[in-house]
Amino acid sequence: MAAEVPQMVSNDMESGKAAVLNKYTLFCALLASTNSILLGYDIGVMSGAVLFIKEDLKITSVQVEILVGSLNVLSLVGSLASGKTSDYIGRRYTIVLAAATFLVGALLMGFAPSFPWLLAGRIVAGIGVGYSLMISPLYTAEISPAMKRGFLTSLPEVFIVSGILIGYIVNYSLSGLHQNINWRLMLGLAAVPAVAIGIGVTAMPESPRWLVMKGRTDEAKRVLIKVSDSVQEAEFRLREITKAATSMDSINGDWHGQGVWKELLLNPSRPVRRILIAAIGINFFMQASGNDAVIYYCPEVFKAAGIHHKRQLFGVNVIMGVAKASFVLISALYLDRFGRRPLLLLGTMGMAVSLAVLGIGSKFLQHSETKPMWAIIVCVVAVCADVSFFSMGLGPITWVYSSEIFPLRLRAQGTGLAISVNRLVSGVMSMTFLTISEKITFGGIFFVLSGIMVLATLFFYFFLPETKHKTLEEVWALFEDKGQSGGDQREMQMRDI
């Protein structure tokens, strides 16, 4: 009978039964992913709020960069801590902790009487963001079936983009209020979804893979029955998880994630080293693309292009937000059909072209006294194309890929390490974007970002294997030397490292 179960599951996949999405799994994934709306809202709302903060608190451009970038830099603290925390208290309660931390930060920002208090709120909120960025896709990946994992694990990016769009709409709606009030409302309203998320997550089950690592196999089986289409599928998934945990000596009620850092950094095996390079690489290039900085400072870019009315600037932001939201939904819906690599490569190549066009347009406007409308429209279209290609490729796929390639024992802390690199690069980009643009102009920085995307395309082509339709336990084999056919090696395009 045991030998028949894998065959039954395989037959279900071939017949299309496994393609039907379990409603309870979708419910859990949506709840977990909602946590990511907090980062999106902050990115979107801060892009407009910072214009009023600068006028109201009389802060300099350097202070603006520190204010914007501090959340991203401090989020790496949350990302690094989230792996150990989720191994210790579980995935579900880590999501609650992320929402609670962001709630405190949002309240501090909303009631801040001065720049230091506002900065303190950004720092606290940043730690919460770091927690949520790691734990939301990781939890979703651990409860999802292989055939739908790409769609479900990309939902955090859908909510990030949705949060950005909501932030833009709030900016536009509140921009008419007095500048001493509007930015406080813009930032403080983030407390509302944080409370709702903290309450809603209590309805979620714990990750079955974490339960297995804690030796709570019976509880894991009950959860798997809920998130699977049949008892046979649940039993098969449980056996696969238990086998993977046993092979790594991870089933231990007293295990709280100890020894993982040594295994990751001090003495990594060849497959672990390949996984680290892939995970850190995709997170590095996600933020080196400058996407967050472009969104944060988009109003500054278009002010330089000749659009000076604040409501017009916020209107451009709304258009950009709609473009991002549309393309991230397309990516989420087709990620499991086309795979990670094709969409990732298409996205980065599209970004390289869009940023090059944006650079040309910005350079033209810089040297034009009349600021012709056609050139401004070209820049607006190029920005929308850039963020759309990002939302098709790097945006959702970074979270999917980071959360699915590490083996069970290393998954939480390995993912946390990779995402901490993501946050560090995002912070550096956000805190230096205006300063660098003053030195080499906006056009110059867009040309640099275009070149970075060319390098990213080459990196992804050679170092990232395809993972679609693989179980989390099977993904590990893609990075091992043994058992790879010539076709697998050619598809992976891996080089000896």
Q: Give tens-digit pLDDT for 143-185.
A: 988 888 889 888 888 888 888 888 888 888 887 788 778 888 8
Residue 13 in any domain: the answer is no
Instruction: Say if 195 falls within a structural domain.
Output: yes
Which CATH number fits the domain that encloses residue 316? Answer: 1.20.1250.20
CA-CA distance, 68 to 83, in Å (whole number)? 25
Calculate the alpha carbon distances from 460 to 225, 284, 346, 425 in Å.
36, 12, 11, 18
Query: Does residue 198 sit within a domain?
Result: yes
- pLDDT for residue 481: 61
**Does residue 365 form part of some domain?**
yes
Predicted local confidence at residue 306, as pLDDT: 62
pLDDT given at position 250: 59
Domain that holds residue 66: 22-492
Indicate the number of domains in the chain.
Answer: 1
Quote the pLDDT of residue 417.
92
Exposure string of 445-477, with b = 16+ CB inside 10 Å and e = fewer, is: bbbebbebbbebbebbeebbbebbbbbbbebbe
For position 9, what pLDDT does the model report? 45
Mean pLDDT over the full length of the chain:
82
Structure confidence at residue 292 (pLDDT): 75
Q: Taking the C-alpha atoms of 470, 490, 265 and 430 in order, what is their torsion angle to the nearest 10 degrees?
A: -90
pTM: 0.79
pLDDT score, position 251: 62
- For residue 379, what pLDDT is reported? 83
17: in domain: no
Cα separation, 426 vs 278, whole angstroms: 18
% the chain with pLDDT above 90 = 25
Q: How many CA atoms lie within 13 A of 344 on its CB side?
A: 31
Q: Is residue 294 part of a domain?
A: yes
Which ranges of the chain have pLDDT less than 70? Answer: 1-19, 247-258, 296, 298-299, 301, 303-314, 481-497
Token pair in block for residue 438 = 């003053």
Residue 74 within any structural domain of the chain: yes
Half-sphere exposure of 351 (CA within 13 A, CB side): 35
Q: What is the pLDDT of residue 352?
A: 96
| CA distance linking residue 223 with residue 489, whole number of Å | 36
